[in-house]
């Protein structure tokens, strides 16, 4: 009887763990984040899903932070905008502490901080994140970034005023 109970307990635990890991696949989170940045409905769904995440995988935590930031973009109340940004900042700090050399975490934080108004004083990591992103793209594919995500990162960094002309020249010379 004890063996059956133990077996059922292990089966339940394993199925819960498997369900949790399949729900938060990095490749799917990338697409959901990009969609959430464009649509308030997608942002709400993404934030609700990420709000249920309780584990400590650094990249998934960074997407949880990004989900908070996208909500800040889509809510109208300044108080709630600030609350979402503060929560995002806390989660990004935790993710970076867990894996401070991960280019995807740094890219997500860069994309958020770049668009935060400077007077809020919440964009203190832009230069260090940009340096790590560019250096990771320089050593691609050894940096571990997937080809699709490396292209997304490079295209974003080349757009608008994200980089200096010298940095853009470097990025253009990188084959992804």
pLDDT, position 17 = 41
The answer to whether position 45 is within a domain reads: yes
Which strand (E) or helix (H) includes residue 105? helix 103-113
Q: Binning pLDDT at 50, 70 and 90, where does residue 23 land?
A: confident
* Contact present, 106 and 133 (Cβ < 8 Å): yes
Question: How much of the chain exceeds pLDDT 90, in percent?
Answer: 86
The answer to whether position 17 is within a domain reads: no
The answer to whether position 12 is within a domain reads: no
pLDDT score of 176 more than 50? yes
* Contact present, 168 and 156 (Cβ < 8 Å): no
The answer to whether position 16 is within a domain reads: no
The answer to whether position 20 is within a domain reads: no
The answer to whether position 66 is within a domain reads: yes
How far apart are the C-alpha atoms of 141 and 96, rounded to whole Å?
Answer: 21
Cα angle value 113/116/119 (rounded, 5°): 120
* Contact present, 174 and 138 (Cβ < 8 Å): yes
The answer to whether position 86 is within a domain reads: yes
Model pLDDT for residues 108-165, shown as the tens digit of each residue:
999 999 999 999 999 999 999 999 999 999 999 999 999 999 999 999 999 999 999 9
pLDDT score of 11 more than 60? no
Domain with 58, as residue range(s), is 25-172
Of 118, 119, 114, the closest CA to residue 133 belongs to 114
The answer to whether position 1 is within a domain reads: no
What is the count of structural domains for the chain?
1
């Amino acid at each position: 009887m004890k063996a059956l109970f133990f077996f059922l307990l292990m089966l339940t635990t394993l199925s819960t763990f498997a369900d949790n890991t399949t729900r938060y696949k990095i490749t799917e989170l990338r697409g959901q984040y990009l969609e959430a940045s464009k649509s308030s409905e997608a942002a709400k769904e993404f934030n609700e899903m990420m709000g249920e995440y309780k584990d400590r995988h650094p990249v998934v935590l960074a997407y949880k932070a990004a989900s908070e930031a996208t909500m800040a973009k889509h809510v109208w109340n300044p108080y709630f905008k600030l609350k979402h940004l503060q929560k995002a900042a806390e989660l990004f700090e935790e993710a970076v502490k867990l894996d401070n050399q991960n280019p995807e975490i740094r890219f997500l934080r860069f994309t958020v901080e770049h668009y935060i108004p400077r007077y809020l004083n919440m964009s203190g990591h832009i230069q260090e994140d940009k340096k790590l992103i560019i250096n990771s793209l320089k050593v691609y594919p050894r940096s571990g970034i997937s080809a699709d995500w490396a292209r997304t990162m490079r295209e974003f960094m080349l757009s608008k005023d994200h980089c200096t002309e010298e940095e853009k020249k470097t990025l253009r010379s990188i084959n992804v």
